[in-house]
Amino acid sequence: MMTESEILERTVVIGNELGLHARVATAMVQTMKNHSCHVTLVKNGMEVDARSVLGLLLLAATPGSELIVRAHGPGSQEAVEQISRLLENNGSDHVR
The domain ranges of the chain are: 7-88
Q: List the pLDDT tens digit at each of the 96 positions of the chain.
A: 556 578 999 999 998 889 999 999 999 999 999 999 999 999 999 999 999 999 999 999 999 999 999 999 999 999 999 999 999 986 554 433
Residues marked active site are found at: 21
pLDDT at 3: 61
Note the pLDDT of residue 95. Answer: 39
Q: Regarding the domain delimited by 7-88, which CATH topology (the fold level of the hierarchy) does it fall under?
A: Histidine-containing Protein; Chain: A; (3.30.1340)
Specify the pLDDT at position 12.
96
At residue 91, the pLDDT reads 59
What is residue 16's predicted lDDT score, i.e. its pLDDT? 85
DSSP per residue over the chain, as a string?
Answer: ---TTSEEEEEEE---TT-S-HHHHHHHHHHHTT--SEEEEEETTEEEETT-HHHHHHT---TT-EEEEEEESTTHHHHHHHHHHHHHTTT-SS--
The reported pLDDT for the residue numbered 96 is 36
Q: What is the pLDDT of residue 90?
A: 64
